[in-house]
Amino acid sequence: MTDHSYFTIDNLGLLIAAGMVVIAAGISVLMKLGVAKSLVWSMVRSFVQLLIMGIVLEYVIRQQNVWLVVGLIAIMLIAAVQITMSRAKGVPKGLVPIVLLSLVVTMLIMISIVAELIVRPHPWYAPQVVIPLTGMMLGNTVSALALAMSRFFESMRERYEEVGTLLALGATPWEAARPSVMSSIRLGMLPTIANLASAGIVTIPGMMSGQIIAGGNPLDAARYQFVILTSFSALTLLAGAIILALVYKRCFISYDRYLMPQPAQPLSVRDMLNLRKAVHSGAGNGPAHGTGTGARP
Amino acid sequence: MSPNPTPPAPHLFEASHVTAVMPQQGGDHTVFHDLSFHVDTGEVVDITGPSGAGKSTLLTAFARLNAHTTGTFALDGKDSDSFTPQQWRVRVSYLPQTSTLIGDTVADVIRLPWTLAVRQGERKQEPADMLADEHIRQLLDAMGCADIQLDRNPRDLSGGQAARVSLARTILTKPRVLLADEVDAGLDEENADKVADLLKRAAEQGAGVVRIRHRAPDGRANRIMVLSGGELSEQQAASAAQGEGRRA
């Protein structure tokens, strides 16, 4: 990996970066912005998470074992589902299988087309190709899905009069939900399309930057980036369409009657810890400190 | 009075054992329990009663739109479960109190029901111009809506016009039973009168019309029912009898 012109970052570099955050946090304290704690905490968290990811990736790439790759992807999928559910606001319970299904389908398509048809690595499961691709795609899809699902249920709540009128005129649930489905898919796609259009002018996308810093040929990097951006936008649309096609019926009950499901309480790690405390000691007082929300490797 | 033992012929529309239980914090709230109701072809039946008695709930239950109601409903003696929800609502059509006009022009608003899958088959049998602007124009004129241009944006309509467009949209779908939820609320006397005429005409053309009303009786109802305290009862004949002598 580190054979050619490649500038590594030493520990001093890490310290300097961390120092910048500490200074920023200091400014925050002085100006009473109230973000100092979360800033430092997020820094520590990201450092630990990235370090773990780095160690795990190094190991997996060295091993070149199919099952390790599959296992790592499975863990990433579960984390992606958890993050999607925690980011989506006002969605009902029981959507986990649907989110998982849509992520698995898009991921399988992504691996078979982007990795195997376009990049064609040897061996086919080459972790240094498959895993970063999966990670980037999941990151992209997760935010789009969370956005689309939140918007969908919000829109279905707002449109209750329209939905009622449509049903009264003989509309099927799909016909009554369609405007909400369309607008939420569109909203979920917006960031992806914006990325696609601004790439190369406003920004050098992360992947391309990384490849160039790692000493890659900028033209090769551009090709890679193009493939990633375009295929990801197609896959994001697909994931959104799958989810909404499976989810819209949740706004209706038997005999096609309109009934919005109760939004699920977002259950974070902190809630679960509090719950356990309450169960064990009968005194669930005050929010636990520093447990964060949903930390997963 | 309400339990009618073995009627000779089925009513046009009949509802029985209609119960509404609304979920609330700290236990469910029963709005009404085991109500019966019927309406026949050509009849206009008014439902009155205090606010919160569940009049709208009752009507949405009839159209089987309400998630918190149960009951048995039949059209010409045929149980609603033998219809698809869409077929049922095409025949037993609920008209909400607020006019929700979907579309960029009045013509689009009126056409909307024919864009739905449930009427796609029907559309082929209708005259080819069913959805043509001239046809809609004629129908609206015949309904006393000559003052409403088809290319108007529905948002620019007055309250009375919007109510009539909403009503026209439902009437033109020719429902067997028309459930009008206080469609004259907030209208001046003149517009309320026009709306009442439209409904009366729909009844004369063979529909059964059920109206929720808060206003004083307008002489168009064949029967007036009162929903109050969870009970549905027919109002005393004194005022209803006057309804027979129809004076506009």
Is B3 within the bounds of a domain? Answer: no
Domain count of the fold of chain B: 1
Q: Considering only CA atoms, which of B62, B56, B2, B64 is closest in space to residue B31?
A: B56
- Chain A with chain B: Cβ pairs closer than 8 A: 65
Q: In terms of domains, do A81 and A175 share one?
A: yes
Q: In terms of domains, do A178 and A246 share one?
A: yes
Report the alpha-carbon distance of residue A107 to residue A113 in Å, rounded: 10
Structural tokens at position A31: 């100006």
Report the alpha-carbon distance of residue A244 to residue A34 in Å, rounded: 38
Is B248 within the bounds of a domain? Answer: no
Q: In terms of domains, do A164 and A35 share one?
A: no
Q: Considering only CA atoms, which of A121, A138, A141, A142 is closest in space to residue A73?
A: A138
Q: In terms of domains, do A244 and A106 share one?
A: yes
In a mutagenesis test of the A interface, which of B111, B116, B170 is the best target, namely the one with the most A β-carbons within 10 Å? B116
State mean pLDDT over A228-248.
91
Is A79 within the bounds of a domain? Answer: yes
Residues of A in contact with B109 (CB under 8 A): none
Q: In terms of domains, do A43 and A173 share one?
A: no
Q: Considering only CA atoms, which of A73, A52, A91 is closest in space to residue A295?
A: A52
Nearest-neighbour CA in chain A from B220: distance (Å) = 25
Is A143 within the bounds of a domain? Answer: yes
Is B247 within the bounds of a domain? Answer: no
Structural tokens at position A228: 């990633």
Q: In terms of domains, do A59 and A78 share one?
A: no
Nearest-neighbour CA in chain A from B210: distance (Å) = 15
Cβ partners under 8 Å of residue B11, min gap 6: B38, B39, B40
Residue A261, judged by CB atoms within 10 A of its CB (0-12, 13-18, 19+), counts as: middle
Q: Give the ipTM of the model, two decimals please.
A: 0.88
Whether residue A245 has pLDDT greater than 80: yes
Whether residue A159 has pLDDT greater than 90: yes
Q: Which residue of A has its CA nearest to B90?
A: A170
Let me know how long chain B is: 248
Are B32 and B70 contacting, i.e. CB atoms less than 8 angstroms apart? no
Subunit contact A168:B90, Cβ cutoff 8 A = no
Q: A112-115, long-range: CB within 8 Å, 24+ apart, which pairs? A: A113/A231, A114/A227, A114/A228, A114/A231
What integer pLDDT is reported at residue B128 of this predicted model? 45
Is A135 within the bounds of a domain? Answer: yes
Amino acid at B22: M
Q: In terms of domains, do A123 and A202 share one?
A: yes
Is B6 within the bounds of a domain? Answer: no
Element (H, E) at B197: helix B189-204
What integer pLDDT is reported at residue A283 of this predicted model? 40
Question: CATH code at B197?
Answer: 3.40.50.300
What integer pLDDT is reported at residue B4 of this predicted model? 55
Is B44 within the bounds of a domain? Answer: yes
Which residue segment(s) compose the domain that B166 sits in?
Answer: 13-242
Structural tokens at position B206: 């063979």
What integer pLDDT is reported at residue A90 of this predicted model? 84
Subunit contact A168:B118, Cβ cutoff 8 A = no
Domain count of the fold of chain A: 2
Amino acid at A282: G
Which residue segment(s) compose the domain that A162 sits in?
Answer: 65-281
Residues of A in contact with B20 (CB under 8 A): none
What integer pLDDT is reported at residue A202 of this predicted model? 74
Q: Which of B96, B116, B170 sits opposite A164 (nearest CB)?
A: B96
Lowest mean pLDDT among A23-32, A196-205, B221-230: A196-205
Domain-terminating residue out of A63, A91, A107: A63
Is B5 within the bounds of a domain? Answer: no
Q: In terms of domains, do A43 and A77 share one?
A: no
Subunit contact B85:A256, Cβ cutoff 8 A = yes
Q: In terms of domains, do A94 and A57 share one?
A: no
**Model confidence over B2-21: pLDDT tens digits?**
555 555 678 999 999 999 99
Q: In terms of domains, do A166 and A217 share one?
A: yes
Structural tokens at position A171: 């509309």
Task: Establish if B57 touches chain A: CB-CB under 8 angstroms.
Answer: no
Subunit contact B96:A175, Cβ cutoff 8 A = no
Is B2 within the bounds of a domain? Answer: no
Whether residue B147 has pLDDT greater than 60: yes
